[in-house]
Chains A and B, each alone.
Chain A
Amino acid sequence: MTSIILRTATRYMFPPLLVFSIYILLRGHHYPGGGFVGGLFAGSAFALYTLAFDVADARRLIRIDPRDITAAGLAAALLSGIPPLFTDHAFLTGTWWEVPLFSGATMDIGTPLIFDIGVYLVVFGVLLTLVFVLGEEE
């Protein structure tokens, strides 16, 4: 099921795909994109890698157990709901902070962003789990 062309192409495609997935995740709040799509892109990058090489290689590449990634994502999404509780708002109400960047520029950082990162991690972890489990099937 493997071919040299696919392997070579994957080698070059893989890093840009991952970077792209994070880009998609971060710009999601203002432009098309977001955690779901970002996670899917990252997952398909690994699916591609698994197809080109095999599951053991892919596992070596990621090192972390995909189930842990899923759990971390769920935890991040849950935790992002906590801060508003301190200001007497409902669970998961969006809370924003203005973070100063270099030379007077500022950036809005909010709990929805953390939530979206959680979504990204869950989708990514779920995809990896499914691909690995099916790929390792005898």
Chain B
Amino acid sequence: MEVLLAIVIGVLYGGGLYLMMRRNLIQLIIGLGLLSHGANLLIFTAGGLRKGGAPILAEGEKAFAALPSDPLPQALILTAIVISFAVTAFALVLFLRTYEVVGTDDVDELKETDT
């Protein structure tokens, strides 16, 4: 199973980076999105895949009967998902504004710091 997921992660990384190296601003953002999916999945897989239950105690119990899935990577990924969303949104706004000011969405033309 892990091997399959590792391949998925590889595809997400490769695809994301390929898109980030294209000339359109939009492709850059989409690439960023794929890349963050890949990163989240990487943390999740590296944390160990357990098909045990969720790390949530049943009502009335004081301790876990069977080892549940690892809560720590989940907490990490949860914030990572929300933050990468905020980053994507910020990047969107930034590019929108860039397009408005510079008048191009061609990354190759965004070479100068002055407009």
Contact = CB atoms under 8 A, between A and B. Distances in A.
Given A130-B89, A134-B93, A137-B96, A40 B56 contact: no
Majority-rule SS of A interface residues: helix
Majority-rule SS of B interface residues: helix
Interface in B80-103: 82, 86, 89, 92-93, 96
Contacts of A123: 82
A133 B56 CA distance: 38
Range of interface residues on B (Cβ < 8 Å): 10 to 19
A126 interface: yes
Interface string B5-34: 000000000000000000000000000000
Interface residues of A, number: 11
A30 B82 CA distance: 21
Interface in B54-106: 54, 56-57, 78-79, 82, 86, 89, 92-93, 96
B93 A126 contact: no
Interface string A26-40: 000011100010001
Contacts of A40: 82
Contacts of B89: 130, 134
Contacts of A137: 96
Interface of A: 30-32, 36, 40, 123, 126, 130, 133-134, 137
5 contacts: A30-B56, A36-B79, A123-B82, A133-B93, A134-B93
